[in-house]
Structure 1
Amino acid sequence: MPETAAAPDEASRTLEERYGTRRQRGVDRRIAWTAVALLAIGGGAFLAFGGWQQGSAIGFQDIGRTIHGDGEVEVRFEVTAPAGTAVACAVEAQNASKATVGWSVVEVPASERHSSRVTTTLVTTNRAATGHVRDCWALEG
């Protein structure tokens, strides 16, 4: 009987020499808890500094455009912003090759309404094929 008890120990020793010993479970758990803590801190930082402020975002949508000959394009768009926020929008005219042929920054004054419709006319260097809003942002002050 003693020989059968020694055989598993010898086999275990041979396997440990060949493949190494198993890692401690405590180390694995510490790594897992550290990863969970880092993810929680990262998620909290994202909510605090990035994703939480999305409710007050500035938005815009092109409504239409009218080409007036070789030198002008009229662009109509709607701006959505929190009430009382002044906004500026970059409006661009492009030719058929998508090259910029006209550009203007249009300021939309603060309003008690959340959305405002704006019409602006851009002077172009040559015939425009389209006109659109490129971006909008809140004005300071």
Structure 2
Amino acid sequence: MTTQAQLDDRYGRTRDPRRRRIAWVAVIAAAALLVGWFGWNTVATEMDAVGVDGHGFTVVDERSVEVSFQFTAPAGRSVACAVQALSEDFGVVGWKIVQYEAADSRHQRHVETVPTVAEATTGLVESCWVT
């Protein structure tokens, strides 16, 4: 009669402690690589982050709006901003992409005039990004 231990040995179902150790090392290495990748991705994204604060707007006439804002960006990097004007029902009536050269200061304040196709009731910065 054949025992369970003999069948396990015959068909390769015995537990090898080295195999188990290698599997744990592989799992730990994969987890470390995944954590490292997420960490680097977070750092790389934050290095190029641009924060924008709108300070206000002035409706100059029915064909233009002045938008006042400041942004915080990495020093020494050029930045582009999308400035827009909206109508009473929040439709976009003016849009302008403005590019700023690299500066030594992280904080920059600007006032931009946005031409419009109809009378605007507000002006704001849609977003800014590092170029």
Q: What letter is aligned with 1:107?
A: Q
**What SS does structure 1 have at the residue aligned with 2:119?**
coil
Q: 1:57 aligns with which of 49, 53, 56?
A: 49
More helix by share: 1
**What SS does structure 1 have at the residue aligned with 2:38?**
helix
Q: What is the alpha-carbon distance in structure 2 between the residues aligned to residue 132 and residue 31 of structure 1?
A: 55
Q: 2:93 aligns with which of 101, 109, 124?
A: 101
How many residue pairs align between the two structures? 114
- Compute the displacement of 1:35 (Å): 5.7
Q: What letter is aligned with 2:73?
A: A
Q: Tell me if 1:121 matches 2:101.
A: no
Q: What is the alpha-carbon distance in structure 1 between the residues aligned to residue 78 and residue 72 of structure 2?
A: 11
- What TM-score do the two structures reach when normalised by structure 1? 0.68
Q: 2:103 aligns with which of 107, 111, 118?
A: 111
Q: Which has the higher contact order (CA 8 A, sep 6+)?
A: 2
- Compute the displacement of 1:105 (Å): 0.7
Q: What is the alpha-carbon distance in structure 2 between the residues aligned to residue 59 and residue 90 of structure 1?
A: 13
**Closer/same/farther in 2, CA of residues 37 and 120 from structure 1, 3 Å limit:** same
Q: What is the alpha-carbon distance in structure 2 between the residues aligned to residue 85 and residue 55 of structure 1?
A: 11
- What TM-score do the two structures reach when normalised by structure 2? 0.73
1:7-26 → structure 2 map (5 Å cutoff): none
**Structure 2: unaligned runs, 5 residues or longer:** 1-14
Alignment root-mean-square deviation, CA:
2.3
**What SS does structure 1 have at the residue aligned with 2:83?**
strand
Contact 2:48-2:130 within 8 A present in 1 as well:
no
